[in-house]
Structure 1
Amino acid sequence: MEKPWLSSYEEGVPATQTYPEITLSDLFQQTTRTYPDKTATNFVLKYLLGGRFTVGGRLSYQQLNELVERMATALYQLGVRKGDRVAMMLPNSPHYVITFFAAMRIGAVVVNINPTYTARELQQQVADAGAETMVLLNIFWPRLREVQRETPVKRTVVAYVFDTLNFPSNLLVKMSQKKTPEWVDVPPEEGVFFFNHLLQKYGPAPPKVPVTPDDTALFQYTGGTTGLPKAAMLSHRNLVANTLQISAFLPSAIRGGEKMMCAIPFFHVYGMTVAMIYGIHLGAELTIVPNPRPIDNVMNIMQKERATLYPGVPAMYIGIINHKDVANYDLRSIRACLSGSAPLPIEVQEKFGELTGGRLVEGFGMTEMSPCSHANPVFGKRKAGSIGVPLSDTEAKIVDLETGADLPFENESQGELCVRGPQVMSGYWNRPEETKLTIDADGWLHTGDICKVDPEGYFYVVDRKKDMIIASGYKVLPRDVEEVLFMHPKVMEAVVVGIPNPKRGDDTVKAFIVPKPGETPTTAEIQEFCKQHLAQYKIPREVELRSELPKTMVGKVLRRVLIEEEKAKMAMAG
């Protein structure tokens, strides 16, 4: 197969590599044996006394491994067996890392639950996964109780933020947490167990459960930006392979010497693989941030802890470069950042580089790909608007939207991106028909993204098939319009959607804009600017200024929420 991208790899990145027959538990244990005394997790909650005292806690790789083994023993003693689903509703914290690798150790399947889910959404996901065990933070317990009878959940492990902290941080956090309105004191009752008690009760001697690379490790539910979420089944092989692909793509990373900024949520596959699993594979210190909002919190921690690697999303980088006090922060410890989940404007990449001295590049992935398939070379050629080149051992092609025929790369034809590689999921849980529609007989994953490729093998996402707007009989790709809006000096964030127009039978192009602080661009001003760069039919007919855009926890704009809001307005207007 033609692979023009191989010549675009930076020095040291292999076209192919060997993937060992290991599980995620094996990968974790390899690091704990190599770097037993190095800091594994640095859980940062806040700073006191002008930054001289950190409220939080550190665990070495040896300490982390012991806690993982204790939790693995506990889960097994509670009745969790190989293949059983363990749902986790946790923020970024040592609890997440401990529970995840404990489940991997005994062959259980982790089900990541978004902590912002309502009781109804929680019930749907837990019931669909068939999870009988739930590990959650105490403040989320009432939501489970509300719907537990409608789920398979038999046992609940309740965690408190201060569980893994030493004195005096544990006492300070406990006292401050109890004063918050969100605090929940979970009473002891049948089927309810406590994280800290389990770690104390059970020793570090988990049973030897035979787990293979092809066993399912994770049910990762898709973001649900276009409909009801469904679970991608990711195996140990998938996740280990993607971790090693990411590692190979950054050959300059220092084994045992990096500090990984973990500000994107672990419950999302991007944060789980790129920050947590890859960080542990590197023997890095995971600087764990439970809440990245406001962005000042991330900037403070980045400065204080001297983070070197920072996977994130465009909203984070945009927030940093536009922060009124950014000049007062020293962020120059950052060396490399990979941005995903949404398009990253080149202006943001360049400005972030000026502020930090680090390299910020755009990548691409999907839940179904564990999640990474493409990235711009971190210290090689970075191209504006490109998601970069396929990772090692990743095949990619574009196919005709109508016929499905392969399209040549030479003329930059536009078609659906298809990907094949060791990181591609085995399928969707309990959805064989959707699996067949997504992965063809030859193993190609159909992404639903419209792409083009340049002569050097750099891919460009033109748009999502499902987001295409039909206006005045023409096809409008939202990203074309959004790229222009991002060029406007008063625009900080922008998203474009098609609003159904029953009278015309097509869509109205509408732009939702978050202005830069202190700016208030008018509709006429935006439209006039767009006229200079876009065909008439692509110019937004409507412009709405907002203080923020609805997003998933990892910064992906929820277009369907905006469209539903507009439909509701039309229904009320009659």
Structure 2
Amino acid sequence: MTLLTDYQSYADAQQHFSPEKLWDLFDGNRDSFNIAHECVDRHATSGRDALIVAHADGTDEIISYAELSAESSRFAHFLKEQGVNRGDRVAIMLDPSKAFYVAMFGVIKHGAIAVPMFTLFGPDGIALRVNDCKPVMLLTHAHKAQDVSGVSQSVNVQIYDAEFERSLSGFSDTYPVQSHSNELAVFQYTSGTTRELPEAVKHSHRALVTLMVAALYGTGLRPGDRFFCPSSPAWGHGLWHGTLAPLAMGLTVGAYSGRFNPVRLIEALSQHSFTNMSAAATHYRMIKNSGVASNYQYSFEKLSFTGEPIDDDTADFIKRVFGLEVCSMYGTTEIGVVLVSYPGAPDFAVKRGSLGKPIPGGKVEVHDAKGNECAVGDTGEMMVWRRSEWVRTKDLGRVDEEGYFYHGGRADDVIISAGWTMSAVEIENVMLMHPDVLEAAAIGVPDSLRGQVVKAFIVSGRPESAEFTAEIQDLVKRKLSQHEYPRHVAIVSELPKTPAGKVHRKVLREREAQALAAAQS
């Protein structure tokens, strides 16, 4: 039988893809399907390494499929002994490590629901999520014990340390897996601040089947790849695209744990000969800014990114150092991946700056405020056709004459000044062309004359000065237009980011609003 993984070209993707053929990639079916079996147990006798965790301290943790299968089974037996029932939520607040993957797959094997939680959340962020999903157990590190001390008394807080790991050795290393494809398996919280509760997206076991569209055509996964994703598995990109999809194919998967250091990532990518990587745009910029990437040898065949557009300077760096055009993958936690650049497809021309084209069988359009499809080149909101209706992405975009889509920023990142509509993303991309600009963000701030004007926040090793500000303003004037330049420029030590690595413009807007309110009072 010919599988979808046997095809590589864009033409074959359009001709041979069907949702039904996705099921051929798995053991299970619509009546009986379990993510832990598909990602771990069925590969246990392959002899391959499942995970290579590159820790920030320079150590590597290598976990085989056989080891992960056995230890996650022991963990499932532990849950059963503790009285955890099928459908109960189990929160997992652990850094990427053997402990995290053992716990997550053990929970899913048992038929409970895994709830990955970001380890850098403080007490308020933890309490919001615990009170929302009401887990019966929360697993975490000893150093986080104080932060979870205030959670509901109904939660069994389990410290996952060496002693706890030894206690699991008395359980059987096999576990009978039984679940329906429509049963819930994972609750995934979208990134958000600690002051407001982000939405929990509830995924069933069969979500893994749908995910393979993004795996095949967004990250270009194929048997034999050695795949790395530095995003945290507490978030959608790191868990679904970076962990579950490649493990379902039986690949060796790389993960990063601890405070991010681009040099440490570079070392792991080179040492372990990874051939395929999907990362946030910020990761690629940090690799570029490290200044040492060209000192290493790489084995890359496919590269992709998500989260926000990549500026031209970083794209040039990737092409020069890795020898590849980096491929965009666009989607949201709620709607999934809908636009891709088909990494590895020899007949797909990657257009620098574009989001690519729709996934096979997908339908995406750009609509104006009245709900009509925009003309080629006009900016509107990108819409996705789902279940016989158009679904909003809340992102602006445009499409060119060849059917490639381009990102215009979030709908709330549009800056309107004196009647002119400007894109924060476009302004940021131009500012990043300046050799002394390491990171950049742009927002609209109130102005009595124009309504709003652009304020830029710049991370740079160069100190703030009138000359530096003028250089940035002149660059934007030359590249975009005379009215789109930032009238205010602030040099900052760092930019606020979401846990997924995106620049958090909302936080910048909130800070400016608070500063303005304080000044007025």
TM tier, smaller: 0.7 to 0.9
Corresponding residue of 1:169 = none
1:532 counterpart SS class: helix
Alpha-carbon distance, 1:271 to partner: 0.7
With over 3 angstroms needed to count, the CA separation of the structure-2 counterparts of 1:315 and 1:39, relative to structure 1, is same
Residues 481-492 of structure 1: pairs in structure 2 closer than 5 A = 481-492=427-438
Shift of 1:359: 4.2
**Does residue 224 in structure 1 map to residue 225 in structure 2?**
no
Other-structure match for 2:135: 131
Q: Does 1:23 align with 2:34?
A: yes
Superposition map of 1:44-193 within 5 A: 44-45=54-55, 55-145=59-149, 147-148=150-151, 151=152, 153-160=154-161, 163=162
Tell me the equivalent position of 1:270: 237
Q: Counterpart of 1:509 in structure 2: which amino acid?
A: V
> What is the CA-CA distance between 1:567 and the residue it aligns to?
2.2
* Deviation, structure 1 residue 302: 1.4
How far the C-alpha of 1:514 sits from its partner, in A, is 1.9
CA distance in 2, matches of 1:509, 1:287: 40
Three-state SS of the structure 1 residue aligned to 2:158 is strand
> Which one of the candidate residues 456, 461, 468 is aligned to 1:511?
456
**Contact 2:217/2:342 (CA < 8 Å) preserved in 1?**
no
Contact in 1 for aligned 2:376/2:398 (Cα 8 Å): no
Structure-2 residue corresponding to 1:571: 517
The structural deviation recorded for 1:449 is 0.5
Query: 1:112–1:267: 8 Å Cα contact kept in structure 2?
Result: yes
Residue 373 of structure 2: SS of its match in structure 1?
Answer: coil
| One-letter amino acid of the counterpart of residue 258, structure 1 | D
Q: Post-superposition shift, 1:266?
A: 0.8
CA contact (8 A) 2:56 2:260 kept: no
State the Cα deviation string for residues 227-273 of structure 1 (Å, max 9, x = none).
5411122222223311344125566x552x33222421111110111
How is 1:381-396 mapped onto 2 (pairs within 5 angstroms)? Answer: 381-396=349-364
State how 1:243-322 maps to structure 2 within 5 Å. Answer: 243-248=212-217, 253-255=221-223, 257-291=224-258, 293-322=260-289
Corresponding residue number in structure 2 for 1:375: 340
Deviation, structure 1 residue 60:
1.8
Query: 1:494: how far off?
Result: 1.3
1:29 CA drift (Å): 4.5
Paired residue for 1:364?
330
**Root-mean-square deviation over aligned CA pairs:** 2.7
- The structural deviation recorded for 1:120 is 0.8
Counterpart in 2 of 1:354? 320
Aligned partner of residue 127 in structure 2, secondary structure: helix
TM-score (structure 1 length as normaliser): 0.80
Alpha carbons of structure 1 residues 394 and 527: separation in structure 2 relative to 1, 3 Å:
same
Bigger mean CA deviation after superposition, 88-97 or 504-513: 504-513
- SS of residue in 1 equivalent to 2:147: helix
SS at match of 1:104: helix
Identity among equivalent positions (%) equals: 25
Q: Secondary structure at the match of 1:322?
A: helix
Alignment-mate amino acid for residue 313 of structure 2: E
- Alpha-carbon offset, residue 420 of structure 1: 4.3
* Partner residue of 2:305 out of 326, 334, 339: 339
Q: Which SS does the other structure have where 1:273 is aligned?
A: helix
Higher alpha-carbon deviation: 457-466 or 211-220: 211-220
**Does the 8 Å contact 2:39/2:249 carry over to 1?**
no
Q: Are the structure 2 counterparts of residues 43 and 530 from structure 1 closer, same or farther at C-alpha, using a change threshold of 3 Å?
A: closer
Q: 2:384 aligns with which of 419, 424, 430?
A: 419
- Which has the larger displacement, 75-84 or 195-204? 195-204
CA contact 2:89–2:135 (8 Å) conserved in 1: yes
Matches within 5 A, 1:396-475: 396-401=364-369, 403=370, 405-407=371-373, 411-420=376-385, 442=388, 444-475=390-421
**Equivalent residues of 1:292, 1:298 under 8 A apart:** no
Q: Distance in 2 between matches of 1:475 and 1:359?
A: 30
**What secondary structure does 1:398 align onto?**
strand
- 2:208 & 2:144 partners in 1: Cα distance? 28
Residue in structure 1 matching 2:48, options 21, 25, 38: 38
Structure 1 residue identity aligned to 2:314: V
Closer, same or farther: CA 542–293 of 1 in aligned 2, 3 Å = same
Cα–Cα, structure 1 residues 390 and 505, in superposed 2: closer, same or farther, change >3 Å? same
The offset of 1:394, in angstroms, is: 2.7
- The letter for the 1-side match of 2:302 is A
The CA deviation string for residues 70-116 of structure 1, in whole angstroms up to 9 with x for no partner, is 11111122122222111111111122222222222222222221111
- Mapped partners of 2:197, 2:450: distance in 1: 26
* Structure-to-structure mapping, 1:208-219, within 5 angstroms: 208-209=177-178, 211-219=179-187
State the aligned residue count. Answer: 497
The question of whether the paired residues in 1 share the 8 Å contact of 2:113 and 2:185 is answered with yes
